[in-house]
Structure 1
Amino acid sequence: MVKIEFDIFVFKEDENYIAYCPELDISSCGSTIEHSKEMLKTAIRLFLEEAEKMNTLEDILDEANYKKDAKGKWLPPKLVATEFAGL
């Protein structure tokens, strides 16, 4: 299986925590922050395994703006800012 890096954002909704990967638009949940992050990693691993089986993984990563370096490692798009804003 291909190894990739990704961002994880965690939100609290009522009594649950939602972990979200913006690069792949995948989320999962858990009863604690750590549990939600582990569940997200599992969801991403399963997603990547299925995409690999279907021979669509490179297309998906390209569409998500991942780039391959000279050694063939997939590099994620860089998060350059985050802000909490209101109107």
Structure 2
Amino acid sequence: MHIDYTVQIWKEGSQFVAHAMPLDVMSSGPTLEAARIALDEAVHLFLVTAADIGTLDEILQETGYKFQDGKWVSPEWVAIEKHSVTMGV
């Protein structure tokens, strides 16, 4: 089975944090590439575990995936944006 996911990566101190959207799985590493590799492992283990316990289809549906033509299609992201707000505190 092949499942696509979108990844967002940012830096926190000396660590790179990677977030697999919309699965909401995260991991980190000391380099950008290490964070990517760690995230791919975490996503793989998450999905394999979900399949093993029989909840994979439910999880994918709840996270916006659609089952079309015999395969799972990931949600289409239209933007990843950085916003800010000014507070009078």
Give TM class, smaller chain: over 0.9
- Counting aligned pairs with the same residue, the percent is 35
Q: Give the counterpart letter for 1:41 in structure 2.
A: D
Structure 2: 5+ residue runs without aligned partners? none
Deviation at 1:3, TM superposition (A): 1.6
Q: Give the counterpart letter for 2:47 in structure 1.
A: L
Higher strand share: 2
Q: What does residue 17 of structure 1 align with?
A: 16
> Larger Cα Rg: Structure 1 or Structure 2?
2
Q: Give the counterpart letter for 1:40 in structure 2.
A: L
Q: Give the counterpart letter for 1:83 in structure 2.
A: E
Deviation at 1:84, TM superposition (A): 1.6
Corresponding position: 1:50 with 2:49: yes
Structure 1: 5+ residue runs without aligned partners? none
Q: What does residue 81 of structure 2 align with?
A: 83
TM-score, length basis structure 2:
0.91
How many residue pairs get matched? 85
Superposition RMSD in Å = 0.8
